[in-house]
Structure 1
Amino acid sequence: MTDPQVALMMLGLFIVFVFLGFPIAFTLMAMGIGFGYFAYYDPSRMWRSFERLDDAATTWDSWSTWFEGFLNNRIFDLFVNQTFTVMSNEVLTAVPLFLFMGYIVERSNIVDRLFTTLNIASKNLPGSMGVAALITCALFATATGIVGAVVTLMGLLALPAMLKARYDPSFAAGIICAGGTLGILIPPSIMLIVYAAATNVSIVRLYAAALLPGLTLVGLYLIYIVGRSILQPSSAPKPTDDEVPDMPRLQLLWLIITSFVPLAFLIFAVLGSILFGLATPTEAASIGALGGILLAFLYRAMTWQRLRESVYLTVRTTAMVCWLFVGSYTFSAVFSYLGGEQVIGEFVSSLDLTPIQFLIIAQLIIFLLGWPLEWSEIIIIFVPIFLPLLEVFGIDPLFFGILVALNLQTSFLTPPMAMSAYYLKGIAPPELRLTQIFKGVMPFLLCVIISMVLMYIFPQVVFYLPDLFYGR
C-alpha cells in the first residue's frame, strides 16, 4: 500500500473505532503512535543499538538493547513534543478558568434568583415565562459554556414552573433545550477558545465575530416564543396572580439589582475586558473565576463541598480537552506526513466546487458528525482537516469558525441524537415523552438554519465588529 492509502485507512479505522465506543482521546493517541511508528520507521535507527553489543553480553543486555532500539523511532519524540506544546499553549490556559467560573456560578443559586426575577419582570409579555426561561438560559449558558449543566439545571428549575403554568409541554421543553446550547456560540465561549487553539485564529476576533450572530439567534428565538404565544395563546397562557404575583416597582427593582445585575456585570466585565484589549482571555478568565467565587460568597452559597466539586469537575473536563488535543495533534501530524491531507485536498479540488458549495458540504459533514461526537471532538479532530481547503476556496477561517459554532447548535437539537433533549429527558417528569421534546426543538432548529442562511447572505454580520474594533 502507498502512504496516502495507509493514511486513508488510518482515518477510516478511527471512525470505525469511534462508532464502536472506544475512548476518543486514547484512540487518537494509539492510532497516531501505531501508524506513526510505521510512517517514521527507520531500520538503521532501530538496529544501531545492537552494534554496541559484544559476544559476552547477557540475555538481559540483549533484551534491554532491543527495547531501546524499538523505542528509537521519531514518533515517540513527536508524541512528547506535541504533549508539551498542548500543555504550554497560552490560549488553552483560559479553558480551566472559564470552566471553574461556570461551575461556581452553577452552584451558587444565582440562576434560581435570576429566573424568578425575570419571570416577574416580564409578566405582561406574551409567553412571559418562556421569555424569562430563554433569557436565563442565555445568561447562564454564557457564564458556563457547558450545555449539559445549563439544560439540566434549567430543566429542574424552569420546566416544572412552566408545566404548572399550563404551558404546552413540547413548547416548554424546546425553549430549555434551545436556550441551553447558546453557550457554545455566545462569548465567552469555551468552544471558540478551543477553535482558536486548533486553528491559530485570534480568539479576540472570534469573540467579536460571534457577538452579532449570537444575539441574532437569541432574537429569532424570542420572536418565535412571543409570536407563538400571541398566535396560539393556549400553548403559553398568561400567568395568574397566584402563579406570578404582582410586586411593587421598588421591590422589583431591588430584585433585579440583586439577581440580574451581578451576573450580567460579571459576564460583561469578562467579555468587555477581552474585546477592548484591557486583558488577555486568560487574564479575563481569571477575573471571571474570582468574580464567580465572590458572587457565591455574596449569595451565601459557597461551601467547601461545592468548591471541591467545582475544582474536580474543572480538572476532569480540562484533562479531557487537553488529551484530545494531544491525540489530535499526533494523529494529524502522522496523517499529514503520510499524505492524507494532500489526497483529500486534491479530491475536493477536482470536484470544481464554488466556495458556497464547499461551505455547504463542509457544514453538512460537521452536522452529521454532531450526532455521534461531542463539539470538542469535532473541533479538535475534524475541523483541522478542512483548514487547508479554506485557502483554496478563499474562505476566511474566522467566518468558517462562526459557521461551525452555529452549526453545532443543530447537533444538540436534531433528532435522533439531540443531546440536549436527552439531558432534559433525564430529569423531566416521566409523562414528558422524548418525542414531545423532539417536537418542541424543531422550530428552534429552523431558527438556527435561518441564522446560518442570514450569515451566508450577509457575511458582514460576522465581520462588522472585528473590523470595527481591530481593523481588517
Structure 2
Amino acid sequence: MDYLALYLFGLVCLVLLTGFPVAFALAGTSLLFAGFGVLLGHFDMAFLHALPNRLYGIMSNTTLLAVPLFVFMGMMLEKSKVAENLLDAMAILFGKTKAGMGIAVTLVGMLLAASTGIVGATVVTMGLLALPTMLKRGYCARYSTGIIAATGTLGQIIPPSIALVLLGDVLASSYQQAQLNMGIFSPKTISVGDLFAGAIVPGFILVGFYILYSVVLAIVKPSQVPSLTDEDISAIKERRKVGPLMALIPPLMLIAVVLGSILLGFATPTEASGIGAFGAMVLALWQKQLNLANLNYVMQGTLKVTAMVFMILIGAAIFSLVFRGFGGEELVVSLFEQLPGGVFSAVVVVMFVMFLLGFILDFIEITFVVVPIVAPILLMLGVDPIWLGIMIAVNLQTSFLTPPFGFALFYLRGVAEKSILTTDIYKGVIPFVLIQLLLLVLMAIYPELVTWLPSKLYG
C-alpha cells in the first residue's frame, strides 16, 4: 500500500491549488488521510505519537530564531528609505552610461537582497521606485520589467536570505537522518553559515551575468537602454541631500557586519540577525524614519510573516509523519533506485519536480514539504549537502521568474503601470531565465563554484 503516500501527496497539491491556507491544507489533509488509514488498517498511529516531540523541536530550534530577526531587519530597511537612496546614488554613478539605470537597478537589487532577504519585498520596492523612472527616460518596457523582476529574485540566493536560513535548517536535519540511515555516527553536520558561504560565488556570478547582458544590449540595441541626461543627473542631485557615498556606506557596513560575522565564525546566524535588526533600526533613526507608526508597521509585519512560517512548518511536520507512516520514504527510495543514470538522473528529476512545484508553491512550502522527503535520499547517494542546497535555491529562483506562473511576475504585475502589457513582462524575463539556467548548468558541471568557499572558510 506504499502508493497511498503518492495519493496523499497528490491530494495535498490539489487542496493547495484551491487557495486554502497552506499550513491548514497540509495538516488537515494529512490528519484526515491518517484517520482513513487507521480505519482501513494501513496506518500506524505511533507515527503521530512523535508529533509532540517534533513540535517541541521546532519551537526550541535556535536557528529558526533568525527568521523573525532577519524579517524585522528587512522590513525596517524597507521603511527607512534605504532603497530610494541607493537607487539615486547608483543612478548618479552609472546614469551617464548606456544601460546605466539597468546596471544601477541590478546593483541596488543585489544590495537589497543582501539587506532584506525577501523576494517579494525587493520586487515590489524596485517596481515602485525604478520602473516609472526607467520608462520615463526611454528604456524599453521589456528590458525594464525583466531586469527588475530578475534582480528582485536575488533575495532567494544572496545571503542573508530567509530561504537559505530555512533550507539550511532542513538540510541539517536531512543530513543527520541520512547518516543515521547509513549507520554513520559522526559529529559532522552542515549549518546555515555553510549555505551562506556556498551562495556567495554563484550569487556574484549571477549579478555579473545580469550586468554583462545589460552591457551587451547597450552595444547591440542602444536605443532600448539610453543614458540619463545631464538634467536628469542634476535633478537627482538636487533632490538628494545625501551624496552617493553617504547613501552607500551605511547599508554596505551593515551587510558587511552581518554577513562577515557569520562567515568568519564570530557569530551564529541567529546572533548576526540580532545585530542586523539593531543596525536596521539605527539606519532608520539616521534617516529620521524611526517613529511609532513605522515601528508598529514593521513589528506587525514581522509577526505575521513569522507566524505564517511556523504554522507552515508545523503543518509540514504533520504531513511528513503521515507520509512516512504510509511508507512514502521507502517508495521514493525505490523510485530513485529504478531510475537509469543513478545519482545524476535522481538529481535531475528532483530539480525538475521542484521547478514545476515552484509555480504553485512558495519556497517555504517546498522547503518544509518536499526537501525533507528527497534530501535524505540524495545525501545517502553521495550528493554534497551544500551544493544540493544552493542548486535548490537557484532552481526555485528560476521557477519564481518563469512565465506564466512565476511569483515575481505576479508581484511586478501588481505594481507596474497598466500601460505595460503582461506579455511585455513575460518576454522581458526570458533572457534572465536563460541566464539562471546557465548558472544551474555551470554549478552542475563545476560544483567547486559552490563548495570552494565553504571548504576554505570551514575546512
TM-score, normalised with respect to structure 1: 0.89
Report the count of equivalent residues: 439
What SS does the aligned partner of 2:405 have? coil
Deviation, 1:149, is 1.3
1:287-436 alignment, distance < 5 Å: 287-436=275-424
| Counterpart contact for 2:171–2:389, Cα < 8 Å | no
| Counterpart contact for 2:339–2:345, Cα < 8 Å | no
2:312 maps to amino acid: L
- Structure of greater Rg: 1
Out of 438, 460, 469, the residue aligned to residue 448 of structure 2 is 460
1:28 maps to: 26
1:141 is aligned to 2:113: yes
1:225 maps to: 214
Deviation, 1:385, is 1.5
2:202 maps to: 213
Deviation, 1:255, is 1.4
Matches of 1:288 and 1:391, distance apart in 2:
33
Matches of 1:39 and 1:287, distance apart in 2:
48
Deviation, 1:247, is 9.5
1:266 maps to: 254
| Counterpart contact for 1:129–1:162, Cα < 8 Å | yes
- Residue by residue, what CA displacement relative to the aligned partner does 1:43-81 show, whole Å, maximum 9, x if unpaired? 9xxxxxxxxxxxxxxxxxxxxxxxxxxxxx656643333
User: Quick check: 426-435 or 292-301, which moved more?
Assistant: 426-435
Matches of 1:76 and 1:441, distance apart in 2:
44
1:8 maps to amino acid: L
Out of 91, 114, 117, the residue aligned to residue 63 of structure 2 is 91
- Residue by residue, what CA displacement relative to the aligned partner does 1:360-395 show, whole Å, maximum 9, x if unpaired? 221111110110111111111111121132134321
2:230 maps to: 241
1:187 is aligned to 2:159: yes
2:193 maps to: 204
Matches of 2:161 and 2:415, distance apart in 1:
25
Matches of 2:444 and 2:354, distance apart in 1:
17
Out of 10, 13, 21, the residue aligned to residue 11 of structure 2 is 13
- Residue by residue, what CA displacement relative to the aligned partner does 1:3-22 show, whole Å, maximum 9, x if unpaired? x2332222221122112222
Matches of 2:311 and 2:300, distance apart in 1:
17
Out of 127, 141, 145, the residue aligned to residue 169 of structure 1 is 141
| Counterpart contact for 1:39–1:334, Cα < 8 Å | no
Matches of 1:425 and 1:282, distance apart in 2:
34
1:46 maps to: none
Out of 113, 133, 136, the residue aligned to residue 85 of structure 2 is 113
2:179 maps to: none
What SS does the aligned partner of 2:230 have? coil
Deviation, 1:334, is 2.0
1:178 maps to amino acid: A
Matches of 2:22 and 2:298, distance apart in 1:
24
Matches of 2:277 and 2:386, distance apart in 1:
27
Matches of 1:78 and 1:217, distance apart in 2:
42
- Residue by residue, what CA displacement relative to the aligned partner does 1:166-190 show, whole Å, maximum 9, x if unpaired? 0001111111100100011001111
What SS does the aligned partner of 1:223 have? helix
Deviation, 1:408, is 1.2
Matches of 1:118 and 1:356, distance apart in 2:
42
Matches of 1:329 and 1:246, distance apart in 2:
54
| Counterpart contact for 1:121–1:252, Cα < 8 Å | no
1:32-43 alignment, distance < 5 Å: 32-37=30-35
1:154 is aligned to 2:148: no
| Counterpart contact for 2:8–2:33, Cα < 8 Å | yes
Matches of 1:118 and 1:340, distance apart in 2:
51
Matches of 1:275 and 1:171, distance apart in 2:
35
| Counterpart contact for 1:411–1:418, Cα < 8 Å | yes
User: Quick check: 112-121 or 326-335, which moved more?
Assistant: 326-335
Deviation, 1:217, is 0.5
| Counterpart contact for 2:357–2:366, Cα < 8 Å | yes
| Counterpart contact for 2:80–2:283, Cα < 8 Å | yes
Deviation, 1:407, is 0.7
Q: CA RMSD in A?
A: 2.2
What SS does the aligned partner of 1:242 have? helix
What SS does the aligned partner of 1:413 have? coil
Matches of 2:138 and 2:452, distance apart in 1:
42
| Counterpart contact for 1:19–1:372, Cα < 8 Å | yes
User: Quick check: 389-398 or 327-336, which moved more?
Assistant: 389-398
What SS does the aligned partner of 1:437 have? helix
Matches of 1:347 and 1:77, distance apart in 2:
28
Deviation, 1:246, is 9.2
Change (3 A) 1:270 1:41: farther
| Counterpart contact for 1:142–1:187, Cα < 8 Å | yes
| Counterpart contact for 1:33–1:76, Cα < 8 Å | no
Matches of 1:456 and 1:76, distance apart in 2:
38
2:286 maps to amino acid: L
User: Quick check: 416-425 or 295-304, which moved more?
Assistant: 416-425
Which stretches in structure 2 are left out of the alignment for 5+ residues? 173-189
Give the share of equivalent positions with the same residue, in percent. Answer: 39
TM-score, normalised with respect to structure 2: 0.91
| Counterpart contact for 2:149–2:409, Cα < 8 Å | yes
- Residue by residue, what CA displacement relative to the aligned partner does 1:253-307 show, whole Å, maximum 9, x if unpaired? 9613321110111011100000001011111000000000000000101121111
Deviation, 1:410, is 1.2
Deviation, 1:252, is 10
Which stretches in structure 1 are left out of the alignment for 5+ residues? 44-72
What SS does the aligned partner of 1:277 have? coil
